[in-house]
Amino acid sequence: MKYLKRAFYVMLILIGIALLAIVIFSEKKPEGEGGSKADQLAQKVLAAVNHEAYAKTNYFRWSFPRGHHYFFDKQNNKAIIEWDDHKVVMQLDTQEGQVFSGQKIVEDEDQRKKLLNKAWSLWCNDSFWMFAPFKVLDPGTTRKIVLEEGKEALLVEYESGGVTPGDSYLWILDENFRPTGYKMWTSIIPVKGMYASWENWEQHNGAYYALNHNMKIELKMDNFLASDSLADFGYTTNPFL
């Protein structure tokens, strides 16, 4: 009994330290100024990453840390999402599709729904880390200009979409308006205003993509490819058929 009480008190102390750290290291979300100037700054961000080339690119492939693998047909808004021994071929507009586990189609409805929900959650998180700079003018977003260390930064707030509407990101920009990172106010990260870098920019099919992020831990996008041709990915037939 003595040891259980001691363990309980230690747990309370650790929880208290964690809560105190969240308070100490969190930042209040800035207010900023909205309107046409903020939208113009967003347009400059899109130009810096060549949104026009991204919009014209049909297919994308990449791997996210922890063994999440993606193939994205942007034109038809479909994705192949793979993790562990699961594979989901999803129509992203409806979050419906075929579900496989161990290379066998999943027929049990409860298990199928569970894996569809898991795939959608993975997609929303991992695709945002891949394509977020191209989404600063998406429907359901608002924009504000914030002065960050004397320089203009772009605060983008997501009122809808994904699985965590209400998230906000303050984009820190270089002299050419390309992002160097952002501060995050999200529901899944307890420390508000945490910074994550956007670096190792590479040009693929005309547009620019950041393949590395660092926020105390490194997130590296592997196996990335963007192309208009299925043949470039090794497909001889449409993988969604």
In a domain, 12, yes or no: no
pLDDT in tens, 163-188: 567 899 999 999 999 999 999 999 88
Q: Is 20 domain-assigned?
A: no
195, part of any domain: yes
Write out the residue range of the structural domain in which residue 75 sits: 33-227
Q: Which of 188, 184, 234, 177 is nearest to 213 (CA)?
A: 184
Which residues are registered as beta bridge partners of 201?
210
131 located within any domain? yes
Q: Is residue 125 part of a domain?
A: yes
| Mean pLDDT of the 84-105 span | 97
Taking only the tens place, the pLDDT of each residue in 119-167 is: 999 999 999 999 999 999 999 999 999 999 999 999 999 987 665 678 9
pLDDT of residue 23: 42
Residue 101 vs residue 3, higher pLDDT: 101
Query: What's this model's pTM, rounded to 2 decimal places?
Result: 0.87
- Among 6-15, 38-47, 216-225, which is the least confidently predicted range? 6-15
Q: Which of 59-63, 135-139, 237-241 has the lowest mean pLDDT?
A: 237-241
The residue to which tokens 């347009």 are assigned:
43
Residue 166 neighbours by CB under 8 Å, 6+ apart:
157, 158, 159, 187
CA quadruple 175, 177, 178, 181: dihedral sign: positive
Give the helix/strand (H/E) hosting 114.
Answer: helix 109-131
Please report, as a single letter, which amino acid is at residue 81. Answer: I
pLDDT of residue 188: 87
Q: What local confidence, expressed as pLDDT, does residue 164 receive?
A: 65
pLDDT category, 10, cuts 50, 70, 90? very low
pLDDT of residue 99: 98
- Predicted pLDDT of residue 1: 56
- CA distances (Å), origin 137, targets 43, 70, 117, 210: 8, 24, 26, 18
Q: How far apart are CA 99 and CA 238, in angstroms?
A: 17
Alpha carbon distances (Å) from 88 to 95, 108, 125, 236? 10, 14, 16, 20
Residue 64 lies in a domain: yes
Based on the structure, what is the number of domains in the chain? Answer: 1
9 has a pLDDT exceeding 50: no
Determine the Cα–Cα distance for residues 241 and 232; give it in Å rounded to an integer: 18
Is residue 20's pLDDT more than 60?
no
